[in-house]
Amino acid sequence: MATFVLIHGGGSSGWEYHLLEAELRALGHDVVAPDLPIEDGANGVAEYADAVVAAIGPREDLVVVGHSFGGLVAPLVCDRRPSRLLVLLAAMIPRPGEPASDWWANTGHESEVDMEADPIGAFLHDVPRELAEEALAKGRPHEGDSLGKPWPLAAWPAVPTRVLACRDDRFFPLEFARRVSRERLGIEPDVIGGSHCVSLSRPKELAARLDAYLTAEQQPAG
């Protein structure tokens, strides 16, 4: 058994993982899925990591999963707490010293759809309509006054890292995700079907993939 630490994306909450959490618990794992304190503009990624570490408490055997904006927070958690694995799920991948506000231009990000005009089309197009509307209703304001601060780590944490991109992601299109992962981490990402919010559209499949990552890390080399 491991403890999966699920870090949500921008403007969201731990609720986005409620289906995935049930699937991971059914596989015998513990789950921590805290709400990041995104509504206070004085907070940035370091303070978000503080909140995650506090939620973890004394738990060990950590698998840290960062989704979307959570990809900026997850490595900070791994730097502070011993972790078995770091998984970047449809995630922003930072560079040392790079402010979150600069990530979009630095990576040449272009979405396939207008996320403000059509948020369901951008993030949730394969999620059942009622669930997608509930997800939008549960969104929270993400204040960004501190997001111009440099990303605080000088180097990537010394933890095995996997990148998992979503084949049908319209917000972080697959080829974009592949390019950023290769350029920034030298990692060829794995691919799962589904939209940007794959934890809502394919929770059982995603849980199985995360569990398989953990099993692979436990196998002896050679």
Mean pLDDT computed over 8-15? 95
Contact in structure between 212 and 63 (CB atoms under 8 Å): no
pLDDT at residue 220 in the model: 53
- Average pLDDT estimate for 120-138: 95
Does residue 202 carry a pLDDT above 90?
Answer: yes
**What is the number of structural domains in the chain?**
1
Q: What is the pLDDT of residue 221?
A: 47
Segment 164-190 shows an average pLDDT of: 97
Hey, how many other C-beta atoms are within 10 angstroms of the C-beta on 16?
Answer: 22
Average of pLDDT values for 206-213? 98
The answer to whether the CB of 173 falls within 8 A of the CB of 112 is: yes
Domain CATH number, residue 152: 3.40.50.1820
Q: What is the mean pLDDT of the chain?
A: 94
DSSP-assigned letters across all residues of 15-33: GGGHHHHHHHHHTT-EEE-
With a cut of 60, say whether residue 41 has pLDDT above it.
yes
**Higher per-residue confidence, 150 vs 220:** 150
Separation of alpha carbons 205 and 160, rounded Å: 22
Q: Please give the average per-residue pLDDT across 148-171, as a whole number.
A: 96
pLDDT at 218 over 80: no
- Residue 195's domain comprises 3-218
Q: What is the DSSP string of 188-216?
A: PPEEESS-TTHHHHSHHHHHHHHHHHHHH
The residue-averaged pLDDT of 153-171 equals: 97
214: which residues sit within 8 A by CB, 6+ positions away? Answer: 2, 63, 84, 85
- What's the pLDDT at 219? 62
Over residues 162-168, mean pLDDT? 98
